[in-house]
Amino acid sequence: MRWPRTGWAEDIRSCHHGTMTNLPDANRLDANLPVSNLLDGCPDRPLADEIFTEILARDGMRIERIVSTGQATPAEAPWDQDHDEWVLLLAGSASLRLDGAADRALRPGDHAFIPARRRHWVLWTDPARPTVWLAVHWPPKPA
C-alpha cells in the first residue's frame, strides 16, 4: 500500500496537525476553560497500531479518541466487550460489522451503538488518511 502523505495536509477534514492535549483529570479543569481539538496531533504516516487516547473519565464513563491508520480487526479476533460502547466517526472513513447485521461504511458524522457482548469488527479504515473515532464507554456489565 502506498501512503499518499501529501493527501493528509491537503484535506482539512482529516486531522489538523498539532499537539494533542489530553484531559485525563477533571480536577485540572477549574482554572481555565479546557479546550483541545480531537483532530489535532494525528500521525502523518501509517502506524503499526491504532492510537488510543483517554479524553475524560468520570463516574465510570470513559470518553476516548481512537486514531486508525488503515488498521482492521482480524476476522478470527472480533471485538467482544463486557460493556456498551457508542462510537462516532469524526474524520476519515471505515466500515463496521456487527455480528448478525449488514456491513456499514461510515463517513464523518456517522455513529453507532455497540451493545456489550455484541461481537464486532472494523472491516477496514481509510488507507489514505487518519480515521478519527470518538468512543464513549459505559461501565462493564456483570457476567
Residues making contact with a copy of itself (CB under 8 A):
12-13, 16, 23, 26, 29-40, 55-56, 58-59, 61, 63, 84, 86, 88, 90, 96-98, 101-104, 106-113, 115, 134, 136, 138-139
Q: Long-range contacts for 1-7 (Cβ within 8 Å, ≥24 apart)?
A: 1/46, 1/70, 1/127, 3/45, 3/46, 3/127, 3/128, 4/128, 5/44, 5/45, 7/128, 7/129
Compare residues 1 and 36 and give the one whose CB is closer to a copy of itself: 36
Give the dihedral of Cα atoms 13, 52, 122, 108; nearest 10 deg.
-20
Nearer residue to a copy of itself within complex by CB, 48 or 106:
106
Minimum distance of a copy of itself from residue 96's CB (angstroms): 7
Radius of gyration of the chain (CA): 16
For the bound state, the minimum distance from the C-beta of residue 94 to a copy of itself, rounded and expressed in Å, comes to 11
Going by C-alpha positions, the residue among 36, 33, 35, 1 that lies closest to residue 19 is 36
Q: Which is nearer to a copy of itself, 50 or 62 (CB)?
A: 62
Nearer to a copy of itself among residue 108 and residue 127 (C-beta): 108
Q: What's the min distance (Å) between Cβ of 56 and a copy of itself?
A: 6
Residues in the chain: 143
Which three three-digit cell numbers place residue 141?
Answer: 456489565
Q: How far is the CB of 30 from a copy of itself (least distance, A)?
A: 8
Is 1 or 75 the residue whose CB approaches a copy of itself more closely?
A: 75
